[in-house]
Chains A and B, each alone.
Chain A
């Protein structure tokens, strides 16, 4: 039999939970961000210790290795500048042609660097925390990428940190197309594959042309992700739902388990 003070506390906690579970989605998200703010000191300590380890490792690198690295990066930089100049010319030509056809001009995206400071606290979701919040211009649904491919989208924004829903999470479905065959499909949320680097794509019709090794890109449908971002490569494909669709396993380009720095695409 419970004593009176015990009954009061247990009832108060139960009431609080019922209230929380019945809050409107917007209010629940704001409250969640406020609660997440309680962990900011720990996130700060985590970021600072990560930076310290990075700096210490730089100090330990031999000078010859650093010089070789700088030379390699200078070469890469020069090659990328040439590619960027060619790309800019092609983009300008594309905009002119779109204007002549009466299409809306395609918006440019500015990549902003962010550091991954934490992973999802539970086993049931694919999310991570980045040190890029509303003070840096973060907005919900901004795409997050690495040089290897699509990572996900910003799911919620705090003052100094944001939560990113990774590709395959329940809240991050992606409309995709296969680069070689131009077949459209979708990488649905709530993926339950054993390997975090693998997701399942379903096409909208039977497409026997999809084979291993083909590149999967974002299709731009849905409005969240720009067209043409690399999602991954096809591992294998098979007919699904009595041959109505094709289901393909995709090896993600971005290593979701080894994310350290990511790029947030700001419009």
Chain B
């Protein structure tokens, strides 16, 4: 097994959990923190196995909780649910097309914070919810929608350069394949 790709993914997750606490000017301009975790969860769910994607989502959520006023663990529920949902249905969903990646990122960018907010309301945690939350969700959706294809492109390139190349197949390989049934 090649560990480079999961390590790169987890380092990216560590940075993504920290990024929303920074970039104050951009945050004030957008009216929302620069949170690209949902797009990374989509990438992890489609390119890594279910165990790696689940662990990654848990790490991302717990890291985000550690840097916010949230109770530890509440922020990890939605990323884990999203990683599980996407990972177990990856054969049913488009992933290679850029527009599909955009819509998946946009959906995750809206659904994850929205679900988190709903969990906080259900847990009587009194989060700061108002009309400004609609704008924040839209901004996060667009940000993650734009970031998701970029993550697929960049991490796939990195993966190709770090992992062992696939063994070349000769032109005779097709001829040597055993064919079953009547031709």
Contact = CB atoms under 8 A, between A and B. Distances in A.
A254 to B, nearest CB: 15
Interface of A is mostly: mixed
A194 interface: yes
B75 interface: yes
B22 interface: yes
A121 to B, nearest CB: 4
Interface residues of A, number: 48
Interface of B is mostly: helix
Interface residues of B, number: 53
A193 to B, nearest CB: 6
Interface stretch (B1-9, B11-19, B95-103, B149-157): B11-19
Nearest to B64: A121
B106 to A, nearest CB: 16
A167 to B, nearest CB: 12
Given A31-B72, A123-B32, A189-B126, A10 B21 contact: no
A184 B131 CA distance: 29
B137 to A, nearest CB: 8
B128 A39 contact: no
B130 A121 contact: no
B142 interface: no
Contacts, number: 155
Interface of B: 14-15, 17-18, 20-22, 24, 27-28, 32-33, 35, 49-51, 54-55, 58, 62-77, 80, 84, 88, 113, 116-117, 120, 125-133, 136, 140
11 contacts: A17-B76, A32-B66, A35-B62, A120-B20, A120-B68, A121-B20, A124-B125, A127-B69, A165-B69, A192-B130, A257-B28
Given A2-B88, A121-B67, 17 more contacts: A5-B51, A9-B55, A14-B80, A23-B72, A39-B66, A118-B22, A119-B33, A120-B67, A123-B32, A123-B136, A124-B70, A124-B125, A125-B128, A155-B69, A165-B69, A194-B132, A257-B28
Interface of A: 2, 5-6, 9-10, 13-14, 16-17, 20-21, 23, 28, 31-33, 35-36, 38-39, 42, 46, 118-127, 129, 155, 163, 165, 168-171, 189-194, 257-258
